[in-house]
């Protein structure tokens, strides 16, 4: 296990732009007892430079300048250290550091790894020599720092609190101790959770957390090292359909021109796993194969990986070890998506003039701006084989497709029931209870009874409110204005689905990719629900919303390139569905019976 540094920055708003006023760092060695390390945290405070620097902006720059120089000094003395972690580095601290180094540290070069608006890593070089790299601890431990600390290192205390909205340059000095204590506690907790997580993965799998950038990458490494036999299951990496309108709960997904995933009726072209096409035919779909890949049928390579981690998680639960329980949970849920990673993405690079000119003429450019005298920021669509960015090497889409298809097949008998009112990825709301033999919270593939509800409103995907029999209330609404989605709002929205209202929303951390500044912006948000995007509402004779039906489409634009011709067939028959009051959640991966039997060899 390698040692590492943890760091943090604290900011203040000036003219709605965030500027750092403090920064700090801590060296963490494997096996360290961090309960005695608070005094080892080094801090830099803007107002300590007020004697030599007049403007706050200059003092803010000096804070980051001294932080970078101190990191460089530490790593020159101890070359076993190479990584500095910050929590939420990808969309906050890292943006300040990237801009700062490009504008103020001319002896360093940088190499950012930025995809789809996330800064995963920032490598700092001197010439061609890598000095150190900043990474986001959130990408390895995806949860709030307060929750992580409670699970992994409760002995270090809880996260503090300061009145961020009251901060002004004029009161920073008077609040210095309070502000630095708050930042130091954050740094201490981050060091604690990273050290604990590093211990767990090393003791169980002999894999160092520090060697990986993201949790899916870590899960893949553990899978390949401990559970994958390439001789038994060599994974191949690769270089249609009519749904009757009488089907109430459509089964096959389709991504429309707005990139919305829907489950329509009608006629459409898509790419699917063979087992879901077989299942679709049994439901009444007409399927005309146009072209495809052939794979050798084999047992799932993931059974041991999932069952072993699930067993370890149950043991951790029984012993009351919340830290291990949490680690096994996030690890178990992070593997499959790695195989389905999209090779096409928005890539953002910070580069010199030569590379800037190359991008202008040789890429699908999104935007390009000058960042400083030396550097330019360029964003382009990458992963199409024409640019220098290499697509992921482990992108076995057949594995991810088979897993999601098998899960969809597994869930369909439940979501297609007459008494199914709402469903999500791994949960279903029913009006009647399931048989006892289908319920068990400690068996993969069986359901766990989460709630019994007495009153509920389900408006749209990720938008619902319900009250449970034991008096609990659960509310969920996706979007920036979710705090305005009260019980009264849900009722008003149910009575008029098209209703919208403008509400004030504060966006405290908006990132400008062209300037690499983080700003605050007050906005008016149109609060409502999107009607008819996933399913179409059905109203009775009194114009009361009573049901939904699948969206009906005829989309055969892909046929011309495939050399086939299909004749649309229409049927206007519709049916309705019922109401329910039980919520069940199924564990992520149904083993043995439903886990994938997939491809290993392409042709």
CA 272 – CA 149 distance, rounded (Å):
42
Domain boundary among 206, 234, 251: 206
Element (H, E) at 403: helix 397-415
Q: 21-35, 240-254, 321-335: which has the minimum mean pLDDT?
A: 240-254
Tell me how far the alpha carbon of residue 39 is from its chain's centroid: 35
Domain boundary among 206, 232, 262: 206
Closest CA to 520 of 118, 13, 21: 13
pLDDT in tens, 458-486: 988 888 999 999 989 999 998 888 888 89
Domain that holds residue 88: 4-206
Q: Domain total for the chain?
A: 2
The answer to the question of residue 66 being in a domain is yes
**CATH code of 59's domain:** 3.30.420.10
C-alpha distances in Å from residue 22, one per residue of 135, 203, 263, 454, 524: 19, 36, 50, 50, 32
The answer to the question of residue 285 being in a domain is no
Domain boundary among 149, 177, 206: 206
The reported pLDDT for the residue numbered 25 is: 94
CA 229 – CA 217 distance, rounded (Å):
18
The answer to the question of residue 227 being in a domain is no
The answer to the question of residue 57 being in a domain is yes
The answer to the question of residue 25 being in a domain is yes
Contact criterion met (CB below 8 Å) for 124 and 113: no
pLDDT in tens, 101-137: 888 777 888 888 888 778 888 898 888 888 999 999 9
The answer to the question of residue 320 being in a domain is no
The answer to the question of residue 47 being in a domain is yes
The reported pLDDT for the residue numbered 384 is: 52
pLDDT in tens, 258-289: 778 888 888 888 888 888 888 988 888 888 88
The answer to the question of residue 556 being in a domain is no
In the block, residue with structure tokens 């994938």 = 596
The reported pLDDT for the residue numbered 430 is: 92
Sorted by sequence, the CB contacts under 8 Å of residue 20 that are 6+ apart come out as: 9, 10, 11, 46, 60, 63, 64, 96
pTM of the model: 0.73
Mean pLDDT, residues 508-517: 73
Sorted by sequence, the CB contacts under 8 Å of residue 273 that are 6+ apart come out as: 398, 401, 402, 405, 406
Contact criterion met (CB below 8 Å) for 57 and 103: no
């Amino acid at each position: 296990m390698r040692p590492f540094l943890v760091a943090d920055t604290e900011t203040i708003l000036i003219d709605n732009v965030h500027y750092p006023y403090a920064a700090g760092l801590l060296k963490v060695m494997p096996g360290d007892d961090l309960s005695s390390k608070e005094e080892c945290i080094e801090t830099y405070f803007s107002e300590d430079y007020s004697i030599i620097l007049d403007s706050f902006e200059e003092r803010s720059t000096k804070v980051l300048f001294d932080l970078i120089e101190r990191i460089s000094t530490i790593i020159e003395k101890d070359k076993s250290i190479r990584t500095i972690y910050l929590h939420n580095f990808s969309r906050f601290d890292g943006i300040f550091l990237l801009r700062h180094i490009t504008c103020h540290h001319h002896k360093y070069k940088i190499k950012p790894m930025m995809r789809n608006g996330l800064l995963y890593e920032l490598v700092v070089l001197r010439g061609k020599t890598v000095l150190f790299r900043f990474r986001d601890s959130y990408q390895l431990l995806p949860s709030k720092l307060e929750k992580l600390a409670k699970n992994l290192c409760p002995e270090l205390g809880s996260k503090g609190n300061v009145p961020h909205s009251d901060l002004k340059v004029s009161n920073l000095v008077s609040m210095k101790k309070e502000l630095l204590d708050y930042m130091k506690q954050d740094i201490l907790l981050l060091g604690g959770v990273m050290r604990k997580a590093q211990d767990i993965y090393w003791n169980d799998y002999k894999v160092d957390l520090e060697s990986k950038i993201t949790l899916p990458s870590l899960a893949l490494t553990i899978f390949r090292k401990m559970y994958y036999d390439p001789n038994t299951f060599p994974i191949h990496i690769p270089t249609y359909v009519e749904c009757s309108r009488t089907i109430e709960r459509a089964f096959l997904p389709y991504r429309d021109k707005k990139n919305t995933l829907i489950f329509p009726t009608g006629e459409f072209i898509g790419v699917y796993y063979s087992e879901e096409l077989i299942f679709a035919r049994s439901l009444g779909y007409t399927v005309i194969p146009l072209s495809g890949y052939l794979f050798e049928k084999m047992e799932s390579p993931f059974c041991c990986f999932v069952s072993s981690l699930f067993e370890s998680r149950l043991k951790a639960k029984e012993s009351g070890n919340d830290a291990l329980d949490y680690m096994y949970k996030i690890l178990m849920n992070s593997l499959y998506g790695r195989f389905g990673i999209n090779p096409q993405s928005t890539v953002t690079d910070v580069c010199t003039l030569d590379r800037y000119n190359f991008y202008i003429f040789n890429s699908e450019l999104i935007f390009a701006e000058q960042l400083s005298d030396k550097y330019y920021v360029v964003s382009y669509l990458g992963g199409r084989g024409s640019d220098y960015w290499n697509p992921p090497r482990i992108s076995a889409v057949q594995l991810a497709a088979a897993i999601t298809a098998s899960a969809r097949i597994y869930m369909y008998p439940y979501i297609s029931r007459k008494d199914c009112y709402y469903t999500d990825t791994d949960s279903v709301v029913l009006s009647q209870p399931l048989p006892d033999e289908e319920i068990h919270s400690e068996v993969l593939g069986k359901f766990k009874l989460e709630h019994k509800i007495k009153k509920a409103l389900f408006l749209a995907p990720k938008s619902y409110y319900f009250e449970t029999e034991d008096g609990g209330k659960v509310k969920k609404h996706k979007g920036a204005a979710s705090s305005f989605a009260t019980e009264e709002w849900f009722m008003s929205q149910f009575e008029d689905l098209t209703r919208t209202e403008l509400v004030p929303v504060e966006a405290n951390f908006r990132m400008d990719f062209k300037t690499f500044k983080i700003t605050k912006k007050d906005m008016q948000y149109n609060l409502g629900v999107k009607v008819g995007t996933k399913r179409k509402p059905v109203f009775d004779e009194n114009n009361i919303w009573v049901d939904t039906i699948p969206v009906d489409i005829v989309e055969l634009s892909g046929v011309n390139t495939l050399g086939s011709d299909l004749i649309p067939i229409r049927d206007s028959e519709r049916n309705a569905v019922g109401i329910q009051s039980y919520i069940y959640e199924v564990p992520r991966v149904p083993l043995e019976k439903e886990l994938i039997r997939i491809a290993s060899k392409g042709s």
